[in-house]
Chain A
Amino acid sequence: MLFNSFQFLLFFILVTPLYYFTPHKWRWLLLLGASCWFYASFIPAYLLILFTIIGIDYMAGRLIEVSTGKRRQLFLILSLVANLGALAVFKYYNFFTGTVESLLSALHLPVPVFPYWHLALPLGLSFHTFQAMSYTLEVYQGHQKAERHVGIYALYVMFYPQLVAGPIERPQHLIHQFYEYHRPDYGKISSGLKTMLTGFFLKTVVADRLAIYVNYVYAHPDVHSRLALLLAVVFFAFQIYGDFAGYSLIAIGSARTMGFDLVPNFNVPLLSRSVTEYWRKWHISLSSWFYTYLFAPIVTSRRQWGKWAVIYGLFITFFLSGLWHGAGWTFIIWGLLHGCAVTIEFLFSGRGHSRRRNGPLVRVAQHLLTFSFLCFAWIFFRSPSLHDAVTVIRRIFSTSSPWVRTGEFDERSLLILCAFGVAATTLADMKVKYLPERHYLLYHRRAVVRLTACITIIVFILLFGVFNGMQFIYFQF
């Protein structure tokens, strides 16, 4: 079930109080059962895939811990192969075979006939496989003891708030929380509910409203004017931010109501002054995963190359990050664009730290340049094909395309609500970044302000939220 559905609301209202009424020693079972129910509402049969991977990783963890030398490596490899194999089969098979066919055809070589697999991608596969791999890698490195309790380990992978789209947790941060007794902490419950409310607002009022306009323009990029395309490009940056940050907040908030702490996933990324800074603040759990398990080992193993080791590590990491996001060349190009930007910043960083460089005009220019780059790269991410991405870019920069077309902006209500969503998100983020000491209305010291803010946000969601069951963008990953 989707977080932004009535079904989830009923599920949450049922499960959360039940958690506190359940004796501590059976709470893991309740949460595991609820997580299974949550996942089964998508495609029940795929629970079997999840259980299989859980079983393999659980055994691998136990065997890694008691083994030495090559045997430890073997069990780690088995676990990684099982997880990556599931990804390869369900997510990348058709992409790889299609690429091989195109390549062989371009080289005028005989093309083998690969069967096309019509397999629906198990929801959250990319997320829970990475979380599972994190576990076996940490056990292998000796940073985490192998979990004895198979139910607790299963819950680590399947914990419903973060099962399908993260945040991607580390075992050291999450597993021990399942053993702790959580009394009802009304401060955390209140904070969790407010976090969820913010998430619902971002998802239904901001992201899904922007999606209506963005989908309309991207459906036929060849007929829209330059202004319409530019608006769609900018709106998409806020749409995906609202969508994903909204999901993460709902996940973090719903876990917090039960006393669990999940890692934060976003930290006002759209106000970054560089792409490097952006990746420290966007999808933090994924970028730190790639840093810990991919980038750092690559750079360390090739440190004799000097700065070329960093560049090499960056390109591999961003290539794979792009591929993780989707089985398509548009995602790979998106990843590599970011890799290029971070590499350039790395090569030119630390040169001329003068007061002039940090002046207000320079800072504004940095914000604008970074945001413009992000929007440009998102074109590839959003477009269904490379051809469409090129069409969008070509029409935006082409002087022969009209700036405006008749009738294109007749949907005033939609545009006003989109502008409101962008403004609300920007102002909220600016408040977090530049006025952190001031509290959000939801956390104001006066109760009447807090309560009024709660009611107002819910009213806004009911009045302006989009309730057509639009799926979260990152569900497709």
Chain B
Amino acid sequence: MTGIPTRKSFFRKALIVLLGLILADICLGQLLRHYYFRVRRGEQYRLTYTLDSTRADVLVMGSSRAVHQYIPTIISDSLHASCYNAGKDLQGIFYDLAVLKAITGRYHPRTIILDLTPIAFLPEEAALNELSVLLPYYRQHPELRPILNRRSRWEWLKTCSSLYCFNSLALPIIYNGMAAADDPGVINGYIPRYDSLKHTPSPPFTIPQLVEATDTGLAMAFRDIILVARQNHCTPIVVVSPVYYPLPIGSSTIRLAGELCTQWQVPFFDFTTSAGFHYRPDLFYDELHLNDRGAALFSRMLCSELIAKGFR
């Protein structure tokens, strides 16, 4: 058992802990940073590739519905332009804006295809929480900071800690670092799903979600995506990809997005009304995502629409 510390010994030990912590933060942080940017597979690698390397003419952006539903090879062949799928699971409008700012700081893609979910404009606290995936890039990408700083008033202070920036990433870094270099099954950012629905799925969107008032911040971020694209000579195209269940009353997001796109003369495609996808378990992996077969059909349909509208 230890004796009761005096004031001097308490502050001395507190200082030692603080200094030890700073040292651990710097050393471990550097180590994590080094190995994070060395891995060649997994979500972290795909994000790094998106922000720092891709020079595709056509970029697909959005959430998991982008990742699993837009096949770059089909888009490439149809539009005769290179294509990369920069979508990311669990991400929304703020993420898309951040990534677009980082990319356009490096080069100007010809076209941005932005996939919106039917409830993309609904206020959701998780939207800002999920931006934590961009924290490892906070220091070298200053254009990300204004968006990341929305997470909290003190984000700028917290990111002084390297360990904080790599929160929850240590194990994926180790795991992906030890695995083989390739990302099996990932094709230019597209991650196919091969299973079909084997049970009747629950409707993924409730009526309250579909009618809920949209969040002004998200709508403004959507506007900023369009503005950034235009300022960098990219053609933005907004798409709402197919759904298993037809939306009974449309959605406030789709209505608002449609209005804004019309106002700004941005091509807008709403495939939620495509009856060819409704109640087709053979085309869906789950209630929200197309499987590979469905993604191929959808990618071809989208390209046909784009070509008909003069995009090549």
Q: Which residues of A contact B (CB under 8 A)?
A: 6-7, 10, 184-187, 189-190, 220, 222-223, 406, 412-413, 416-417, 439, 443-445, 447, 450-452, 454-455, 458-459, 462-469
Contact A185 B4 (CB under 8 A): yes
Report if B140 contacts A (CB, 8 A): no
User: CA separation between A184 and B161, bound complex, in Å?
Assistant: 30
Contact B10 A458 (CB under 8 A): no
Contact A186 B6 (CB under 8 A): yes
Interface string of B165-196 (1 = CB under 8 A from A): 01110111001000000000000000000010
CB distance from A42 to the nearest CB of B (A): 15
Q: Which residues of A contact B125 (CB under 8 A)?
A: 469
CB distance from A13 to the nearest CB of B (A): 12
Known: A412-B171, A462-B167. 4 other contacts (CB 8 A): A417-B171, A451-B20, A452-B20, A459-B21
Contact A468 B195 (CB under 8 A): no
Q: Which residues of A contact B129 (CB under 8 A)?
A: 468-469
Contact B25 A186 (CB under 8 A): no
Q: Which residues of A contact B163 (CB under 8 A)?
A: 459, 462-463
Contact B2 A186 (CB under 8 A): no
Q: Which residues of A contact B7 (CB under 8 A)?
A: 184, 186
Contact A190 B171 (CB under 8 A): no
Residue of A nearest to B17 (CB): A454
Task: Give me 20 A-to-B residue pairs in the complex whose CB atoms sit less than 8 angstroms apart, sorted by A's number.
Answer: A6-B152, A7-B153, A186-B7, A186-B9, A187-B5, A190-B13, A406-B195, A416-B171, A417-B171, A443-B2, A445-B2, A455-B17, A458-B21, A459-B21, A459-B24, A459-B163, A462-B167, A463-B28, A467-B132, A469-B125
Residue of A nearest to B158 (CB): A6
Q: Which residues of B contact A (CB under 8 A)?
A: 1-2, 4-7, 9-10, 13, 16-17, 20-21, 24-25, 28, 125-126, 129, 132, 152-154, 157-158, 161, 163-164, 166-168, 170-172, 175, 195, 199, 202
User: CA separation between A455 and B5, bound complex, in Å?
Assistant: 19
CB distance from B254 to the nearest CB of A (A): 24
Contact A467 B167 (CB under 8 A): yes
Q: Which residues of A contact B21 (CB under 8 A)?
A: 455, 458-459
* In the complex, the 5 A-B pairs of residues with the closest C-beta atoms, listed nearest first: A468-B129, A187-B4, A462-B163, A186-B10, A413-B171
Q: Which residues of B contact A468 (CB under 8 A)?
A: 126, 129, 132
User: CA separation between A234 and B261, bound complex, in Å?
Assistant: 49
- The interface centre, meaning the residue of A10, A444, A454 with most chain B CB atoms within 10 A of its CB, is A454
User: CA separation between A186 and B12, bound complex, in Å?
Assistant: 12
Interface of B is mostly: helix
Q: Which residues of B contact A6 (CB under 8 A)?
A: 152, 154, 157-158
Interface of A is mostly: helix
Cβ 8 A contact of B161, one of A406, A416, A439, A462: A462
User: CA separation between A415 and B172, bound complex, in Å?
Assistant: 12
Q: How many A-B residue pairs have CB under 8 A?
A: 84
Contact A463 B170 (CB under 8 A): yes
Contact B1 A445 (CB under 8 A): yes
User: CA separation between A450 and B28, bound complex, in Å?
Assistant: 20
CB distance from A400 to the nearest CB of B (A): 12
- The interface centre, meaning the residue of B166, B168, B199 with most chain A CB atoms within 10 A of its CB, is B168
User: CA separation between A187 and B16, bound complex, in Å?
Assistant: 17
Q: Which residues of B contact A185 (CB under 8 A)?
A: 4
Residue of A nearest to B193 (CB): A407
Q: Which residues of B contact A450 (CB under 8 A)?
A: 2, 13
Residue of A nearest to B162 (CB): A462
Residue of B nearest to A444 (CB): B2
Contact B17 A451 (CB under 8 A): yes
Contact A463 B175 (CB under 8 A): no
Cβ 8 A contact of B28, one of A186, A443, A451, A459: A459
Q: Which residues of A contact B153 (CB under 8 A)?
A: 7
User: CA separation between A6 and B149, bound complex, in Å?
Assistant: 14
User: CA separation between A464 and B168, bound complex, in Å?
Assistant: 5
Decide yes or no: A413 and B126 within 8 Å by CB, A220-B202, A443-B2, A462-B167 being known contacts.
no
Cβ 8 A contact of B13, one of A10, A223, A451, A458: A451
User: CA separation between A440 and B24, bound complex, in Å?
Assistant: 22
Residue of A nearest to B161 (CB): A462
Contact A462 B25 (CB under 8 A): yes
Residue of A nearest to B125 (CB): A469
Q: Which residues of B contact A220 (CB under 8 A)?
A: 202
CB distance from B11 to the nearest CB of A (A): 9
Q: Which residues of A contact B10 (CB under 8 A)?
A: 186, 189-190
Q: Which residues of B contact A467 (CB under 8 A)?
A: 132, 164, 167
User: CA separation between A452 and B17, bound complex, in Å?
Assistant: 8
Q: Which residues of A contact B195 (CB under 8 A)?
A: 406
Residue of B nearest to A459 (CB): B24
Residue of B nearest to A407 (CB): B195
Contact A465 B167 (CB under 8 A): yes
User: CA separation between A412 and B199, bound complex, in Å?
Assistant: 26
Q: Which residues of A contact B13 (CB under 8 A)?
A: 190, 447, 450-451
Contact A463 B2 (CB under 8 A): no
Residue of B nearest to A458 (CB): B21
